[in-house]
Amino acid sequence: MLNFKVDETLCNRCGLCVQDCPSRIIAMGDDALPRIAPDKAPNCIQCQHCLAVCPTAAVGILGRKPADSLPLGPDSFPTLDRMERLVRGRRTVRHYRDENVDPALIRRLLAATANAPSGINRRELTFTVIDDKDAMQRLREKVLAGLDATTNIPARYGYLLEAGRAYREQHNDIIFRTAPHALFISAPPDAPCPNQDVTLAMAYFELLAQSAGLGTVWWGIAQMVFLVLPELKAQIGLPPDHIYYAMLFGTPSVHYPRTVQRDDAAIVRRVQI
């Protein structure tokens, strides 16, 4: 049920919802109010553009009311200067304080990340989060014990053999980077573009987290660990067939007072046809 509703006392019959609907399922009725015919309803991708674009807050859909949305104005988004500084100043953080992040902040970040774009707006992501540093420590101990006991480490992952000794003898946490928390974002393999959906959501989470004063590090080593110790994936609760990536995060114990300089890090090609 789309539950498409139009407040006729607010609707100014501008037709913006008709024009902006990606699926082209909204049309003006005989009374000049926007309507969705029942046979068109299955084509809705639930993007809520009709709710967002309405200048008079007259349109609701999927049980969502425009009054419950955040209002947007000329000053709602970060300026280019501030956004550029965030992108340039974002750092991979490998040193964290031994403390939990406020659970309310984690919930806020995940709720905001759920708004990241996904292919055809399918929104089939799963967020699996370790939000307690004691749980993270138990996972750390399981991983290190498992690596110490296994003989199933491929030669290309040979440095995993040193993880236990490095942690115990040198206090060098080469796998978990002292982070108190981890986020796994996953998508089913039959999603339109699962890899891209996961990566986009992870990038959104990173920028949100760093805007909140947290540190993050893309945790590619987790995939290596799970290949060596596949039972851990089930223990964490990751859907077995999902495509996933992971990120460590927490309150950083290191501060970077300036950006780096790598504007020439990519090749820029101008297309002329």
Choose the final residue of a domain: 68, 91, 106. 68
Claim to verify: residue 61 and residue 119 sit in the same structural domain: no
Claim to verify: residue 148 and residue 59 sit in the same structural domain: no
**Taking residues 150-154, what's their average pLDDT?**
86
**Taking residues 97-102, what's their average pLDDT?**
98
Identify any residues that bridge with 36 across adjacent strands, giving them in sequence order.
Answer: 26
Claim to verify: residue 12 and residue 139 sit in the same structural domain: no
> pLDDT tens, 166-180?
999 999 999 999 999
Choose the final residue of a domain: 68, 94, 117. 68
Claim to verify: residue 239 and residue 179 sit in the same structural domain: yes
Tell me how many degrees the CA angle 58-63-67 measures, rounded to the nearest 5.
45
Structural domain that includes position 110: 82-250
> pLDDT tens, 221-250?
999 999 999 999 999 999 999 999 999 999
Q: Are 86 and 235 in contact (CB under 8 A)?
A: no
Claim to verify: residue 35 and residue 143 sit in the same structural domain: no
pLDDT attached to residue 55: 97
Claim to verify: residue 191 and residue 63 sit in the same structural domain: no
pLDDT attached to residue 47: 96
Q: What is the DSSP letter of 182?
A: E
CB atoms < 10 A from the CB of 27, how many?
A: 13
Claim to verify: residue 177 and residue 103 sit in the same structural domain: yes
Claim to verify: residue 90 and residue 222 sit in the same structural domain: yes
**Does the pLDDT of residue 155 top 90, yes or no?**
no
pLDDT attached to residue 158: 85
Percentage, residues of the chain above pLDDT 70: 100
Considering the chain, what is the average pLDDT of its residues? 96
**Does the pLDDT of residue 56 top 90, yes or no?**
yes
Q: What is the DSSP letter of 21?
A: -
Does residue 231 fall inside a structural domain? yes
Claim to verify: residue 154 and residue 235 sit in the same structural domain: yes
**Does the pLDDT of residue 194 top 90, yes or no?**
yes
pLDDT attached to residue 151: 83
What residues contact 32, with CB distance under 8 A and at least 6 apart? 13
Residue 225, domain CATH: 3.40.109.10
Does residue 30 fall inside a structural domain? yes
**Taking residues 88-117, what's their average pLDDT?**
98
**Does the pLDDT of residue 109 top 90, yes or no?**
yes
> pLDDT tens, 123-132?
999 999 999 9
The whole-angstrom separation of Cα 102 and Cα 250 is 10
**Taking residues 53-76, what's their average pLDDT?**
97
Chain centre distance of CA 207: 9
**Taking residues 11-38, what's their average pLDDT?**
96
Q: Which of 43, 192, 206, 54 is nearest to 116 (CA)?
A: 206
Claim to verify: residue 91 and residue 219 sit in the same structural domain: yes
How many domains would you assign to the chain?
Answer: 2
H-helix segments, the chain: 16-20, 49-53, 80-89, 103-113, 133-149, 163-170, 194-211, 221-228, 231-236
**Does the pLDDT of residue 196 top 90, yes or no?**
yes
Does residue 166 fall inside a structural domain? yes
Claim to verify: residue 110 and residue 244 sit in the same structural domain: yes
pLDDT attached to residue 214: 98
pLDDT attached to residue 131: 98
Name the residue with tokens 């945790």. 219
Claim to verify: residue 33 and residue 91 sit in the same structural domain: no
What residues contact 100, with CB distance under 8 A and at least 6 apart? 131, 132, 133, 180, 181
The C-alpha R_g of the chain, in whole angstroms, comes to 23
Does residue 266 fall inside a structural domain? no
> pLDDT tens, 249-264?
999 999 999 999 999 9
